[in-house]
Chains A and B, each alone.
Chain A
Amino acid sequence: DAMVIQNPRYQVTQFGKPVTLSCSQTLNHNVMYWYQQKSSQAPKLLFHYYDKDFNNEADTPDNFQSRRPNTSFCFLDIRSPGLGDAAMYLCATTAGFATNEKLFFGSGTQLSVL
């Protein structure tokens, strides 16, 4: 059974139209991450939550926001998507920051911007 679930699998939005991607987990993990993976590029960390504490990467554009209403769910909001935001968005979770903790990834949401 999937432990990190991302919906939808494919998302199409229009240029400038706000879009929300969702991630849920059944692992009760404290930490949730959002990565952006553009075609043929490395996944790039956007931000993460440790419990309710939000941590933004320094180079994440302001256009990207996140919400975590409870332990199980985390949302990625793109306020005004541009063509350059078309990518695969990956959610990942881990129990904590101990060196032996494993990351669990969802299947990703492929975002297209028209």
Chain B
Amino acid sequence: GNSVTQMEGPVTLSEEAFLTINCTYTATGYPSLFWYVQYPGEGLQLLLKATKADDKGSNKGFEATYRKETTSFHLEKGSVQVSDSAVYFCALRVIQGAQKLVFGQGTRLTINP
């Protein structure tokens, strides 16, 4: 089946620290991979995506590379800010008669000044 496993949270860092949130997946075929972010009181927003192996998605200083050999899509940022505090979800997309997203359980990130 299709599934996504994310690094357990919560994660607490100081401002300007380096961030990695691990994500691995299990899927049939070659899914597209996504990171979504959920700020307090808001819905899910697409942060970045990659549609094939070795693609790198990037946005707002965040990056993730689609690694087929390790079935991973780890999220990284070189220098986090307080405003990055949110819950981050890794997801894969499957097409099973319809476009469907399968999410990981989410990782809560808190950045302290």
Contact = CB atoms under 8 A, between A and B. Distances in A.
B43 A97 contact: no
Nearest to A6: B43
B82 interface: no
Given A105-B43, A108-B43, A43 B89 contact: yes
Contacts, number: 54
A107 B101 contact: no
Interface string B83-101: 0000001000101011111
Interface class of chain B by DSSP: strand
B44 to A, nearest CB: 4
B51 interface: yes
B105 interface: yes
- Chain A interface size, as a band, is 20 to 34
The 7 A-B residue pairs whose C-beta atoms are closest, nearest first, are A105-B43, A42-B103, A105-B44, A107-B43, A97-B99, A42-B105, A43-B103
A94 B101 CA distance: 12
Contacts of A4: 43
B44 A40 contact: no
30 contacts: A4-B43, A6-B43, A31-B98, A40-B105, A41-B105, A41-B106, A42-B4, A42-B103, A42-B104, A42-B106, A43-B101, A44-B103, A45-B100, A45-B101, A55-B98, A90-B43, A92-B44, A97-B95, A97-B98, A97-B99, A99-B51, A99-B93, A99-B95, A101-B99, A102-B46, A103-B99, A105-B36, A105-B43, A106-B43, A107-B42
